[in-house]
Amino acid sequence: MSVATTTTHHSGSQPRNSWAELRDATVFDAAPEPAEPEVPEMPEDLSAVSTRELRVLCNSLYRLLDTDFPPFGVREDYAEVVGVLEIRASQATDRGGADTLRETFRDNPAASRFELFLDGTMVGCLKYRLRAGRMHLLETVVAPGHRDTGLESVLVSQTLLNAHRRRLAPVPYCAQVQSFLTENPQYLTLVPAS
């Protein structure tokens, strides 16, 4: 008795491949290596670089530090740039200038005067009288320790701008206001011609 083996193929189907044939036929593309982050070039003299450029550099260095393996030397470069930015910020705060004084300039209508404060202390005032839409500027007084420091100019300019905002015509009777207007003719447009 003989046994016959027959292989049946389903009509229309392809012959099945073994796992070994599939493995050999499949080409696995290796994952691309992550690109090395580009380290920005550090200028030799940071004092010659603008503050804006330093901020951009600082942000770039911080992004590099935020990676799993930051490039060698980036931490030191970042610390150096941050140090320079902090020094510049403290210098800008120390300068203060007119921005600080503007915040401490106020009108005291009960006393009919504009007052200028520095570190919470009144260092100057400009007395005035209101009459018929005009602000008569009568007298500028600055504390003895603060004379000739530029506070008179700040006080007078802020007073003239305040009068302009209130649509009042300033009339300069005070000698300091008159000399300020002589030195700063751009403010003459705020003073009536007559």
Q: List the CATH number of the domain containing 125.
A: 3.40.630.30
pLDDT of residue 180: 93
Residues 105 and 186 in one domain: yes
Q: Are strands 169-172 and 113-118 parallel, antiparallel or unpaired?
A: unpaired
pLDDT of residue 130: 93
Asked, for residue 23, whether it belongs to a domain, the answer is: no
Q: What are the percentages of helix, strand and coil residues in the chain, rounded to 5?
A: 45, 20, 40
pLDDT of residue 23: 65
Residues 90 and 113 in one domain: no
Residues 150 and 186 in one domain: yes
Asked, for residue 170, whether it belongs to a domain, the answer is: yes
Residues 109 and 178 in one domain: yes
pLDDT of residue 105: 87
Residues 115 and 90 in one domain: no
Model-level pTM? 0.48
Residues 47 and 73 in one domain: yes
Residues 56 and 108 in one domain: no
Asked if 140 and 177 count as a contact pair (C-beta separation under 8 A), the reply is yes
Asked, for residue 9, whether it belongs to a domain, the answer is: no
pLDDT of residue 35: 65
Phi then psi for residue 5, to 5 deg, are -100, 130
pLDDT of residue 27: 59
Asked, for residue 43, whether it belongs to a domain, the answer is: yes
Residues 42 and 88 in one domain: yes
What is the count of structural domains for the chain?
2
Rounded distance between C-alpha atoms, residue 1 and residue 3, angstroms: 7
Asked, for residue 81, whether it belongs to a domain, the answer is: yes
pLDDT of residue 100: 45
Query: Helices 74-95 and 51-65: crossing angle, nearest 10°?
Result: 140
Contacts of 181 (CB under 8 A, 6+ apart): 172, 187, 188, 191
Asked, for residue 186, whether it belongs to a domain, the answer is: yes
pLDDT in single tens digits along all 194 residues of the chain: 555 544 455 555 566 667 667 666 655 556 566 666 688 888 888 888 888 888 888 888 888 887 888 888 888 998 898 888 888 888 877 665 554 444 578 899 889 999 988 877 889 999 999 998 899 999 999 988 888 888 888 899 999 999 999 899 999 999 999 999 999 999 998 888 76
Contacts of 175 (CB under 8 A, 6+ apart): none
pLDDT of residue 49: 87
Domain of 164, in residue numbers: 99-190
pLDDT of residue 67: 82
Residues 175 and 113 in one domain: yes
Asked, for residue 181, whether it belongs to a domain, the answer is: yes
